[in-house]
Amino acid sequence: MLSRIAESLFWIGRYVERADGTARILDVHLERLNQMPLAQQRETSRQLLGVMGSLPEKDDIDLSDLLQALAYNRTSATSIAGALGAARENARRARETVSSSVWESLNTTWYGLTQHRKDVVGTYRFCHWVVERTAMIRGLSDTTMSHDESWQFLVLGRSLERADMTARMLSTHDVHAAGLSWVNMLRCAGAYESFLRTRRASFGDQQAAEFLLLDRLFPRSIVYALGDAEKCLTKLNPAYQRVGFINDATRIVGQARTFLEFHQTQDLMSELPEHMDRIQKACARASDAVSRTYFSQADELSWVGEVS
């Protein structure tokens, strides 16, 4: 398939997942932020924005800044509206490759963005709506697109973004003393019920972290998401060699996953922010490696008027 289209699909996967993850994180954090005294609210908002990678210039951040940065800013790829807009724009460029139901659901979502109230109360509904819409887009892409190369690129983008999101989510835990409880952390990942069913009563920070980092059966755990990314990379590269890895992306993702798997949970916990930072960097490097391998265009054409 065309490199340009593959790139678009990869980014549709990433952006849709980003909108979903951000909506979940925002929803849970808002609930907690609303219960805080103002000064603490500002401090926590600031830290949250830092972790999500969209720290504004100014110091005094209030809730409306937070909503703007994470939910409604259409020009920033970190916000939900920006990510959905970018996903829709990518789909518009790859319209003949994504199925029409995927395109339509993205397009309708994009038009729906304007219909939501931009205050705190409206944002709960907005987040809920985004989680539903993105689930629908994911479902439609899984059931109406052939699981060929194009779909693999979409899922690759989705998996890398998902690993990155969960790592960010876990980073918000330890940023300061009054961090989110693990219950809320699990809720951010939509993992609370699965966690309870899996671990029953044995309930503690360590088990919760372990679940989000290492559970092999929960789709938003980092190990699961990285494993998905690896599977896509393998399918995209049929010339898998007997010795060594042929491409950088596979190596980077594999390293990150095995690093987590071969460590004791308590060792990971003691330096959680550093490890989560490492995971985020690995996702970024893998994304770059995928670009270099599959999407790179030859040098941009520039024709100067040297023709008669």
Partner 1 sequence: MSELFADYPAAARKTTAFDEMFDAGYLPRTEYGQVAAALDALNLADVTARADSMARTFLDRGVTFDFAGEERPFPLDIVPRVIAGSDWEVLERGVAQRVKALEAFLSDVYDKMTVVSDGVIPRQLITSSAHFHREVAGFAPAGGVRVHISGIDVVRDQQGTFRVLEDNVRVPSGVSYVLENRRAMAKGLPEAFGQQHIRPVEEYPRRLLAALRKTAPPGVEEPTVVVLTPGVFNSAYFEHTLLAGLMGVELVEGRDLICRGNRVYMRTTAGEQRVDVIYKRIDDEFLDPLQFRADSVLGCPGIVNAARAGMVTIANAVGNGVADDKLVYTYVPDLIRYYLGEEPIIANVDTYRLEDAPAREEVLDRLDELVVKPVDGSGGKGLVIGPDATKAELDILRAKVLEDPRGWIAQPVLQLSTVPTMSGGQFSPRHVDLRPFAVNDGEEVWVLPGGLTRVAMKEGSLIVNSSQGGGSKDTWVVDGEVRGPADVPQERPAVTVRERTSVWPIETNWQDKQSEQQQQ
Where do contacts with partner 1 occur on this chain (CB under 8 A)?
1-6, 92-93, 95-97, 100, 103-104, 107-108, 111, 149, 153, 236, 294-295, 297-298, 300-307
CB of 296 to partner 1, least distance (A): 9
Please report how close the Cβ of residue 264 comes to partner 1 at its closest, in angstroms.
40
Residue among 159, 178, 68 at smallest CA distance from 119: 68
- Closest separation in Å from C-beta 294 to partner 1: 5
Cβ proximity to partner 1: between 1 and 135 the closer is: 1
Smallest separation (angstroms) from partner 1 to the CB of 303: 4
The residue written with tokens 């849970």 in the block is 28
Give Cβ neighbours of residue 53 (< 8 Å, ≥ 6 apart): 78, 168
User: What's the token pair of residue 283?
Assistant: 């996702």
Q: Which is nearer to partner 1, 95 or 281 (CB)?
A: 95
The minimum distance between CB 97 and partner 1, in angstroms, equals 8
Q: Smallest distance, Å, CB 252 to partner 1?
A: 19
Q: Helix, strand, or coil here: 245?
A: coil
Residue type, 21: G
Backbone CA torsion sign across 147, 93, 253, 188: negative
Q: Nearer to partner 1 by C-beta: 202 or 297?
A: 297
Long-range contacts: 191-197, Cβ < 8 Å, 24+? 191/218, 191/220, 191/221, 194/218
Q: Toward partner 1, which CB reaches closer, 103 or 182?
A: 103
Nearer to partner 1, 22 or 287 (CB): 287
Taking the chain, what is the end-to-end CA distance rounded to the nearest angstrom? 36
Task: For partner 1, give the closer residue by CB, 262 or 303.
Answer: 303
How far is residue 149's CA from residue 104's CA, in Å, rounded to a whole number?
21
